[in-house]
Structure 1
Amino acid sequence: MKLISWNVRGLGRPRTVRRLQHWLRDVNPTVIFFIETKLQSDKMEKVRRKCGYPNGIDVGARGRSGGLCLAWRDDCHVSLRSFSDRHIDVLITKDSDGSRWRCTGFYGAPEEQNRGESWNLLRQLDDLSEVPWLVIGDFNELLFSFEKMGGLLRSQRQMDAFRMALDDCSLSDIGYQGRWFTWEKGKFESTNIRERLDRGGLRMRLGGLCSRILL
């Protein structure tokens, strides 16, 4: 099963949707989590269906910011556990073998003053169940200062609070595939800023012990 988390800019433009359609046909993920769609739920549903995903949960944007969508193919059954403008939490059953796992699409608050609420939400979602649990999305925060290039230095207090939340949930970083930085702005070297804000976390049972991994 292939799962992708993606912050796609410009979903309200037909040209972007056409490019997304072609890309998804080539990659063919079973589950995809869209972050910051900036669309109301009815418009996001239309985009999702155009891309070949009739099944999904769409959380509308607030004005011109936010918006989430979790979409999936027909070869799995998805039960909604909870959702908000910061997360979509579901239980997924694979039709081929009946295996179950939990998936939480997560969107950390962009505003520094609201980030503590995001970490408390993450703690609340950790129900210590034995079902494998994947948390994936945009946390809008760094673990370490080297995860940012350009611009002002990130506050050590902010990073410590993020690491504490992950420690409370027994999540640990195991690396990445692809580009190191997942967010970028500024076209010129003097103004360019790059950060690693997107991650994914997995909890599974190993030899009778509960092991959790953060990608």
Structure 2
Amino acid sequence: MEMGPTLNLFPMFKLACWNIRGMNPTSKQDEVKKLIRNSNCSVCCTVETRVLSKKLDKVCNYVFGNWYRAANNSSCLGGTRIVVGWDPNEVICNVMHHTDQVMHSLIKQINGNKRFFCSFIYASNNDTRRKKLWEELLTFRNIVNDSPWLVIGDFNVSLNPEDRCSCPSVVTSPMCAFRECVNDIEIEDINQSGLFYIWNQKPHATGPDVGVLKNIDRAMGNPGLVTHFPRVFAEFQPYGVSDHTPIVISFPNMAKKKIKPYRFNNHLAEKPNFLPLIKDVWCEHVPGYTMFIVVTKLKKVKK
């Protein structure tokens, strides 16, 4: 009896990234724990944590528990800018290199055969220093080549004029530099849902400013990411304790077809009328193409 293909489903893998705007308060730490729990993510990155090196272990132990973690505090002059935690039972995360603005890593799901590069971003709000980040991404692009690559985080600059609300549509020189970098390293926004303006610059209570909504946090990928993970998408969740929204990346179940071999019950051939029946059917004339003839005769044999 011939069996059809079956599907081997890997669990959905999720990754979260959030500019928490300071993770020293316990209330902020609780919100990160809540994000990990509610999104069921296996990797969580927080940027702009502002946690000093001497307090980093205590904060990470509270937030990530028995997860492994890495931080770029050794590259920062002030508080830690980027912290990444991951569940060692679900993924292997190898941090390859980090600076004060980016943490490059290679992530592999333990229960699957898929892996991808991931660059967690917290760009400087200084245009000159941010140019250094664009150079670092271009260098890492030469390491990634055609492999899947996710670039996610706070870029601190808009990419397009429509990324800013309540402001004339203008293209600034920092935007041009960002766009040139995006073109050079060949990445673009992945499919997304949820909020579009993911940073809310709240107005001063006593000032005339009405506030600014901008899109400066992004989830971007190269062609290799879309090829290997065609259903990957980003969800920009509602605002919480930060003026930035959390980003949750979902890698939906990857269906892997497994073809079972053709099996024949040998005892059928021992029946005295088996071979004569096959011969009678196979000798019948069936007009048409070869494949049509074979399929038609098989159907007759089955009857």
After superposition, give the CA deviation of every residue in 1:158-180 in whole Å (9 maximum; x if it has no partner): 21111111111112234532211
Deviations 1:19-60 (A, max 9, x none): 332332222211111111011244333323222352111122
1:129-167 Cα distance to aligned partner (Å, 9 max, x none): 333111111111111122112468765222111111111
Percent of aligned positions that are identical: 23
Partner of 1:115: 130
1:36 aligns to what SS in structure 2?
strand
SS at match of 2:131: helix
Structure 2: runs of 5 or more not aligned: 1-12, 235-303
Q: 1:205 to 1:184 in 2, by over 3 A?
A: closer
2: CA distance, partners of 1:104 / 1:36: 15
Partner of 1:106: 121
In structure 2, give the amino acid aligned to 1:72: W
TM-score, normalised to structure 2's length? 0.62
1:56 aligned to which of 69, 77, 97 = 69
The match for 2:165 is 149
Range 182-191 or range 51-60, more displaced: 182-191
Looking at structure 1, the residues matched to 43 and 101 of structure 2 have their Cα atoms a distance apart, in angstroms, of 18
Q: How many residues align?
A: 212
Runs of 4+ in 1 over 4 A off after TM superposition: 151-155, 206-209
Unpaired stretches in structure 1, ≥5 consecutive residues: none
**Pair member with larger Rg:** 2
Contact kept? 1:45, 1:58, Cα under 8 Å: no
Amino acid at match of 1:95: I
Rounded to whole Å, the distance in 1 between the matches of 2:99 and 2:48 is 13
Higher relative contact order (CA 8 A, sep 6+): 2
Report the CA distance between 1:86 and its aligned residue.
0.8
Alignment of 1:201 with 2:201, yes or no, is: no
Which whole-Å CA distance do the structure 2 matches of 1:156 and 1:176 have between them? 25
Q: Which has the higher helix share?
A: 2
Q: By percentage of residues, which structure has more strand?
A: 1
Q: Is the 8 A contact 1:106 1:135 kept in 2?
A: yes
State how far apart, in whole Å, the 2-side matches of 1:84 and 1:206 are.
Answer: 23
